[in-house]
Chains A and B, each alone.
Chain A
């Protein structure tokens, strides 16, 4: 079961993601626009749901209900699948039509960017999965405690910040507003 001493599964290697992004940018590393578009298309929705639900319960100092906990688990699994296939494009299934579009381009992603996504995004999604799965046990599902909700909220917020950084540094796209 989860406790305050839940193991730290995210190893950041002591390097701030902004420093790492700057380093990658300096080396001219880019993510192919097609891969970025597909990755971002899905992750933006999945992370929004996770972050909004956790934020809602934390602000009200309530445990996350089992129903919403399952929703977070499901969206986290979808997000994890997207990152997984970006890192391992050979695992894209023939019926994953949208993802098949990126199979060739994702195969060409360099080791450094794959390492970055694995280190800073995939590990955090794994952490969210561990925390939520432990509460939403298939046999005996429980609400997700506020402490755990905060942990998930922090991880999802960090992934959102990281994606913002990737957009800006490696895609050269700034936010624009009406």
Chain B
């Protein structure tokens, strides 16, 4: 489904989870990358401009959370399709993510089917947008 022309960055402070998500995405044919630190994720996006970013809202680093990562990514690259991953279900967080340009919002615990489904959906969006720009 993915195809190596679609790149996905996973941002999660739990290394084992970021690795597992990356493993699933690579096997689905995506170019998958991971960062466990919000600042590093922003730098990665500046340098590599991934097509899709899966961002954990509650990163362990108190200096930057997932919403701030989303905001910074969107400031310099509005084309990156951002999916927020979280355990938090409060409406203000959802609304804020929406305002900042999040594409979708999914809740942990994650299954491989959840991830594949939502990333495939984002990939379709990326491909449609590419087709529109041709």
Contact = CB atoms under 8 A, between A and B. Distances in A.
- B16, B21, B87, B106 pick with most chain A CB within 10 angstroms: B16
Interface residues of A, number: 28
A177 interface: yes
Nearest to B27: A56
A84 to B, nearest CB: 19
Given A49-B16, A52-B24, A56-B27, A178 B109 contact: no
Nearest to B89: A173
- A48, A59, A173 pick with most chain B CB within 10 angstroms: A48
Interface in B93-134: 94, 97-98, 102-113, 115
Given A40-B87, A44-B87, A45-B14, A51 B104 contact: no
B112 A56 contact: yes
A48 B89 contact: no
B14 A49 contact: yes
A157 B113 CA distance: 11
A177 B106 CA distance: 7
Interface in B22-42: 23-24, 27
A51 B110 contact: yes
A49 B17 contact: yes
Interface in A44-63: 44-45, 47-49, 51-53, 55-56, 59-60
Contacts of B102: 178
Query: Which secondary structure characterizes the binding site on chain A?
Result: helix
A55 B115 CA distance: 11
B69 interface: no
A56 B21 CA distance: 10
Contacts of B110: 48, 51-52
Contacts of B106: 177
A175 B84 contact: no
Contact of A56 (B23, B103, B105): B23
A176 interface: yes
Given A45-B108, A49-B14, 7 more contacts: A49-B20, A51-B111, A52-B110, A176-B105, A178-B97, A178-B98, A178-B105
Interface of A: 40-41, 43-45, 47-49, 51-53, 55-56, 59-60, 71, 74-75, 157, 160, 163, 167, 173-178
